[in-house]
């Protein structure tokens, strides 16, 4: 039986309260989840296609916070 999970958007406050290491780990986890969602969409097993959009936006929010912190610290990572 497939385990169904409700995808919810992360709040910006939650993201800002996380450390940089936690943000990187969370971004990696969300990328894996996005892969699984896309796979389920292709096989017709995804009930809510909107969840893909929500995960993509969460990844973008996390990347934005990471970049803001890099710029504040004066680090330039390409």
Give residue-wise pLDDT tens across range 23-66.
999 999 999 999 999 999 999 999 999 999 999 999 999 999 99
pLDDT of residue 47: 92
* 4 domain-assigned: no
Domain that holds residue 31: 12-73
Domain count across the chain? 1
Q: What is the CATH number of the domain that holds 16?
A: 1.10.287.310
Q: How many residues does the chain have?
A: 78
pTM: 0.79
* 18 domain-assigned: yes
CA distance 50 to 14: 21
* 1 domain-assigned: no
CA distance 61 to 44: 28
């Amino acid at each position: 039986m497939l385990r169904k999970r409700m995808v919810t958007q992360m709040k910006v406050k939650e993201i800002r309260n996380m450390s940089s290491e936690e943000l990187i780990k969370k971004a990696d986890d969300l990328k894996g989840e996005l892969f699984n969602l896309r796979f389920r969409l292709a096989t017709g097993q995804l009930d809510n296609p909107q969840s893909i959009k929500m995960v993509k936006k969460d990844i973008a929010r996390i990347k934005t916070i990471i970049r803001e912190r890099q710029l504040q610290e004066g680090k330039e990572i390409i």
